[in-house]
Amino acid sequence: MLFLRFTLNILLQLTLLSALHAAKWTYSGPEGEHHWSKNYPYCGGAFQSPIDIKSDLLRFDPTLRPIEVHNYNLSPHEQLTLGNNGHSVQISLPSKMYISSLPHRYTAAQLHFHWGSSGRPAGSEHMVNSKQYAAEMHVVHYNSDKYPNISMAVDKSDGLAVLGVLFEVGEFNPAFEQFLKFINGIKYRDQKVQVPGFNIRALLPARLDEYYRYDGSLTTPPCYPSVLWTLFRNHLTISRKQFMSLATALYSSHAQDSAPVPLNGNYRKPQLVDNRVVLVSFKEGRGLQGTLTVTSPHTRKQIIQQLLVGDLADLADEGLYRLLPSGLEKIYPGKKNNLKNQQSGSVSKTKQQMLNPSMWKKSQINRSVGKLGLAEAPLCYVSLEHKIFRQLKQSHAENQIVQALRDAVFPDLNLKSYLDCKSDLALPTIRHLLRGRPTDEAFELDRSLTKALMNQGKPSTVIKKTVPMTKYGSLTPVPVPRKPPSQGYPHPWLLPMEWED
């Protein structure tokens, strides 16, 4: 009897979990984006996409190389699958297509579109200085150096790289027409047709060396923050007739449904920036005069080491500007002039502390910085979600899972993004790193930072002398081992045509 009750309980939990992951979602209405986080917690978490790319977020990075795409000119003899998944138009891409200009090789998986409606021809997800374009294309790639397929990569912090292209209504686009002429074959949800291959490169701007770069997420559920975004600076055009074909020919409902639901306006609204910066590969142009250059990875690693094992009093005094968001150094004029003397002293002091085992918190350093500047183990969001859900369920606080995930994931993502020069160091991350440090010194540093941020009109709550940090997880959560999935898809709600980004 006990065994039967246990079995029924397990089956009930699996049924609930399956229902959760199969949840329906839309862009508006009862299942609209404001409700996504109820069934997909990461949609309410950190580092979400899209964002409004404003001038004050931009940081010039001279190390950004031109995007190099390979095998994008497909032969007409190759067959591609064009499909309507109820959320977008999606084209499957052959694995021979890849990007080589990133730290890893990223192999193409699919491309899809987001667009407006006939009454409102503005449907891009990303905005540039609050301007929304008519449509946006995403070419999705996965890290094939580390993961065997896209479904294994989709929830890893370095799993995906997406190329984004903005479209404006203007001149006719011949490349766009290569698949648009088959669109009547996929009018309804789950319909698919085979289309001949064409030059995908023609769907990208002529210049691949000018782009915006930031760390973000899928723009559709489950919203994993696993995307390295590259949004090209220069947009393309499609004719008004082409846009209207896209905006009026499709339905998000099935052919047999009695009330057809038009498929348009399929874009997510801009998300919080979350202490991120947007790197740019170009320096000239409107709004870019005086754009700051990012600090080097070596300097950023030194700052993290000083937070973990260095003199916090020095940071709170002379070195405080190093912890402030880029561009706020001006509130500490004169402090930066002493940087060379201070830096040499701080580095030598840090080296002495590193030689002293009592000062060198080896486990803390290994968790966050590591030999190469980051722990090698990738953050697995699914495992972390399950871990936190179990913790919260024991305390009957399942409704807090979104905030708990944010508290657990944000410091790790922000630290990785900071060390990769893609964001500023957020105050919650600094507090997370200060766990275990002397209370008085940590309190002094936090008070100085809070005061500096409040002077900039960014109020923040000062931590108490007990230096409370996030309650859930460690700095680098260890993924829970999983059995090899069947058919290469570990998550039953992530079928090939069921997600976009």
Q: Could you please report the per-residue DSSP string of 87-110?
A: S-EEEE--TT-EE-SSSS-EEEEE
Q: Are residues 365 and 427 in the same domain?
A: yes
Residue 341 has pLDDT above 60, yes or no: no
Is residue 486 in a domain? no
Decide if pLDDT at 364 tops 60.
no
User: Any idea what the CATH number is for the domain that residue 127 is in?
Assistant: 3.10.200.10
pLDDT at 290: 62
Backbone angles phi, psi at 41, to 5 degrees: -55, -35
Domain boundary residue, one of 258, 273, 291: 291
Look-up of token digits 């910085």: 369
Distances in whole angstroms, Cα of residue 222 to Cα of each of 125, 226, 334, 390, 494 = 17, 11, 47, 19, 9
pLDDT at 146 over 70: yes
Same domain, 451 and 306: yes
Residue 493 binned pLDDT confidence (cut-offs 50, 70, 90): very low
Three-state SS for 468?
coil
- Known catalytic residue at 432: no
Same domain, 250 and 322: no
Task: Decide if 19 is inside a domain.
Answer: no
pLDDT in tens, 303-313: 999 888 888 88
Which of 2, 458, 21, 59 shows the shortest CA–CA distance to 291?
Answer: 59
Domain membership flag for residue 494? no
Six token digits for residue 171 = 């001149």
Same-domain status, 415 and 331? yes
pLDDT in tens, 208-265: 999 999 999 999 999 999 999 999 999 999 999 999 999 999 999 999 999 999 999 9
Note down the domain range covering 319: 295-455
Total of domains in the chain: 2
On whether both 253 and 368 belong to a single domain, the answer is no
> Using CA atoms, how far apart are residues 315 and 437, in angstroms rounded to an integer?
13
Summarize pLDDT for 398-431 with one digit per residue, the tens: 677 777 777 878 888 888 889 888 898 888 898 8
Q: Does one domain contain both 97 and 239?
A: yes
13 occurs within a structural domain: no
Given 271, 291, 311, the domain boundary residue is 291
Domain match, 343 and 445 both: yes
Element spanning 365, H or E: helix 362-368
Q: What is the mean pLDDT of the chain?
A: 79
**Residue 281 and residue 342 in one domain:** no
Q: How much is the pLDDT for 316?
A: 80
Asked if residue 347 and residue 256 are part of one domain, the reply reads no
The residue behind tokens 């995007």 is 67
In a domain, 275, yes or no: yes
H or E element, residue 115: strand 106-115
Backbone angles phi, psi at 141, to 5 degrees: -125, 155
Cβ–Cβ < 8 Å for 138, 162: yes
Please write the tens of the pLDDT for every residue from 148-205.
Answer: 999 999 999 999 999 999 999 999 999 999 999 999 999 999 999 999 999 999 999 9
Asked if the structure places residue 287 within a domain, the reply is: yes
The catalytically annotated residue of 35, 77, 87, 386 is: 87
Q: Is residue 279 domain-shared with residue 411, that is, in the same domain?
A: no
Query: Cβ contacts of residue 38 below 8 Å, gap of 6+?
Result: none
Q: What are phi and psi of 93, to 5 degrees?
A: -125, 145
pTM: 0.80
Question: By the 8 A CB rule, do 431 and 307 touch?
Answer: no
Residues 274 and 313 in one domain: no
Confidence band (pLDDT; 50, 70, 90) for 434?
Answer: confident
Longest pairwise C-alpha distance within the chain: 76
In a domain, 272, yes or no: yes
Listed residues 291, 312, 335: the one ending a domain: 291
Quick check: is 5 in a domain?
Answer: no
Residues 350 and 318 occupy one common structural domain: yes
Cα dihedral 151, 41, 412, 420 sign: positive
